């Protein structure tokens, strides 16, 4: 029954606010860049993926997946790169399609339930013959992709994959999207819609007959965005169908390698349905940890080079490498 009853994360006393914990790292955390070496690999649909490797001359590697409209350069990704490199792991940060600084070639890009690209990265790493174990760390949208992929694979998971950790995961997309529509989350929603709109502008230049941006300024919610763009572009009839098919929660009980989900109880993005206690209680492999504080991909730690989330991921993966 891998339900972790007590989490040892302690938020700084003056940051015990879910929004401060969420925003602080983006605005104020100072962290050095990674020594990335970029590798571009082709995909089966004649597109490409940009992978940013950081080497520690190791036979074990951690795949790191960023969140919505993130990239390998986000501070939370860099923090993971540094702790795992220093601990003797290679890392590869997967930039989702269109997130590496260059638009991808095809009409489709990435979404919360798209696991094919992660599967291709796993196969690519295995084919190098360099690694004895592969581990995965995913954040938010990238965490949902991680959990869904592991559940989809089930007992047929690639034998090199030994463990995974996911943070701040909206594993029930419908209710999480509804949570983000609430007034206290308006600043985040506006930011996401604006960033997605910029990406669509680039897409529209390449596919002017397939992407219409008229009245885009009227879009205020993920349901409106996903109904108009994400769902039809990726083969779903509407947002509700896309969310139902892409949520990782229904796949959790099929996970067959040690996997830790850390969702803070004060995460402003997450609904009650995003805390899968029952699934963890009934699983041999799926662990759930719910710190009282942490915000969304926050877990701020002062006085130390690494945040608590990075130490927690490193400890869990090292235990199962």
**E strands, the chain, in order:** 3-4, 37-42, 48-54, 60-65, 90-95, 133-139, 161-167, 259-262, 286-289
Residue keyed to tokens 């860099």: 78
Phi-psi region of 194 (alpha: psi -120 to 50; beta: other; left: phi over 0): alpha
Catalytic residues: 140, 267, 296
DSSP readout, 201-270? HHHHHH-TTT---TTGGG--SHHHHIIIIIHHHTT-SSHHHHHHHH-SGGGGGG--S-EEEE--TT-TT-
Q: What share of the chain is helix, strand, coil (3-state, %, to 5)?
A: 40, 15, 40
């Amino acid at each position: 029954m891998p339900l972790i009853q007590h989490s040892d994360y302690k938020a700084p006393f003056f940051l015990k606010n879910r929004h401060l914990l969420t925003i602080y790292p983006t605005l104020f955390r100072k962290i050095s860049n990674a020594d990335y070496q970029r590798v571009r690999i082709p995909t089966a649909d004649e597109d490409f993926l940009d992978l940013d490797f950081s080497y520690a001359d190791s036979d074990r590697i951690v795949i790191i997946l960023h969140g919505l409209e993130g990239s390998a350069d986000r501070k939370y990704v860099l923090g993971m790169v540094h702790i795992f490199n220093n601990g003797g792991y290679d890392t590869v940060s997967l930039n989702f399609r269109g997130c590496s600084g260059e638009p991808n070639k095809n009409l489709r890009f990435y979404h919360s339930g798209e696991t094919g690209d992660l599967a291709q990265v796993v196969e690519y790493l295995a084919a190098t013959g360099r690694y004895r174990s592969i581990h995965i760390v995913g954040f938010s949208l990238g965490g949902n992709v991680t959990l869904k992929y592991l559940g989809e694979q089930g007992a047929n998971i690639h034998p090199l994959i030994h463990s995974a950790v996911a943070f701040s995961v909206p594993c029930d997309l419908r209710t999480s999207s509804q949570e983000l529509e609430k007034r206290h989350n308006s600043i985040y929603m506006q930011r996401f819609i604006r960033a997605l709109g910029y990406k669509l502008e680039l897409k529209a230049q390449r596919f002017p007959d397939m992407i219409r941006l008229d009245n885009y300024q009227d879009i205020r919610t993920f349901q409106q965005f996903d109904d108009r763009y994400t769902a039809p572009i990726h083969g779903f009839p509407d947002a509700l169908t896309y969310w139902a098919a892409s949520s990782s929660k229904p796949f959790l009980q099929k996970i067959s390698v040690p996997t830790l989900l850390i969702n803070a109880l004060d995460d402003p993005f997450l609904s009650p349905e995003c805390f899968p206690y029952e699934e963890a209680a009934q699983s041999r492999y799926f662990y759930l940890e719910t710190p009282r504080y942490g915000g969304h991909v926050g877990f701020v730690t002062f006085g130390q080079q690494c945040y608590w989330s990075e130490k927690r991921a490193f400890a869990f993966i090292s235990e199962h490498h």
